[in-house]
Amino acid sequence: MARTGRFVGCFVGSVIGDALGAHFEGSWETPTLDVVQKHTRHYLERRHPQLPYTDDTAMAKVVAESLIRCKDFDASDMARRFCDEYYGDKGRGYGFNVVTVFERWKLGSAEERPFEPAKLQFGGEGSEGNGAAMRIAPIAIFAYNDWKKAAEIASGCARLTHSHPNGITGALLQCRAVFQALHANQDESQFANAFIDDLKKHVVQESPGSVYDEKLENARKLLHQNAPPSAGDVADNLGNGVRAKNSVVTAIYAFLHACKWSMNFRDMIEFAISIGGDTDTIACMAGAIGGGFWGIEKIPKMWQENVEAVDIVSEMAEQLSDMRST
């Protein structure tokens, strides 16, 4: 498959996961797969008014715009753009606390001290929300041929809003998962172990004592089961919450689960949403990995038609990948 199809699939996959998953985000009751499919398949039948994306995509678009304009990571530029995006379009369902970072930037620190507001979050501990991980896809596309560069940008971009180590490592894990998916051999259907080993080698070993080691081992155990675990088992073992430690490995698992059990992009997104909790973000992150692996051709056309901004992010993915191609 042409590599462009993977880049476009990656960004589009993340937006589709976000928009389809948003309907169930934070539902009191976890939706059953049947209930999820009633929602998602409605958007496969015919054209509808487009489903809106949420903050996950709003922020990823900003990351892409800033990289395209600056041709590299520029913390002040990205902070200013996050701030402008939020104040221009507040109703996208942003995390409760990240808004404080935007407020402080607006008071004047975006240009001079872009990293300072994030350090004040949660009494100085920094946020460990999944907001840095959910917006990582454009970085993996931009630096797809250079992991060191991808990790450097992912870490800088994360620290703008999430200074807690779990927030940053979560973003790096998701970045490495997307990076791997963009490079993976399509014929490899049995690669779960190698995929997890790679994440440990490139990300977790760099952050000793991180909670992610245990999470990845839990994911490995689930993947070794003889029958597919239920979405409820996945939520119990890996989490489904808004903190990065409770959702990043969950999304990575959803992708590996789909590979192991011969599911396609559609099935993976529906399974990811049925895990419940932070459904837009888990499906968004799984969508970026799966979309990067299977490519745009394998993402249902009607979902592409029925989700907002798919055309915009497709164009961005092409631009980002062209910038550093060798």
> Which spans of this chain sit near ligand R7I (rule: CB under 6 A)?
54-56, 93-98, 122, 125, 127-131, 134, 164, 242-243, 278, 280-281
55 forms part of the interface with Mg ion (CB under 5 A)? yes
SS3 159: helix
Of 36 and 296, CB closest to ligand R7I: 36
Nearest approach in angstroms of CB 111 to Mg ion is 27
Stretch that binds Mg ion, among 32-40, 279-287, 302-310, 315-323 (CB under 5 A): 279-287
Sign of the torsion angle spanned by Cα atoms 139, 143, 148, 149: negative
How far is CA 140 from its chain centroid? 11
For residue 255, give the nearest of 320, 163, 192, 161 by alpha carbon. Answer: 192
Please, what is the minimum distance in Å from the beta carbon of residue 18 to ligand R7I? 7
In the complex with ligand R7I, the residue whose CB is nearer, 4 or 100, is 100
- Helical spans, DSSP H, in the chain: 3-21, 33-45, 55-70, 75-88, 98-104, 110-112, 116-119, 137-142, 147-159, 165-183, 192-202, 212-224, 231-238, 248-260, 265-274, 279-294, 301-306, 310-323
Report the nearest approach of ligand R7I to the CB of residue 289 (Å): 17
- Given a contact cutoff of 8 angstroms between Cβ atoms, the answer to whether 101 and 117 are in contact is yes
Considering only the stretches 2-10, 92-100, 135-143, 289-297, report the one whose residues sit in contact with Mg ion under the rule CB under 5 A.
92-100
Residue 45 CB-half CA count within 13 A: 8
Does residue number 280 form part of the binding site for Mg ion (CB under 5 A)?
Answer: yes
Number of residues that bind Mg ion (CB under 5 A): 7
The CB-of-5 to ligand R7I minimum distance in angstroms stands at 27
CB of 102: closest distance to ligand R7I in angstroms? Answer: 10
> Site residues (CB under 5 A) for Mg ion?
54-56, 93, 278, 280-281
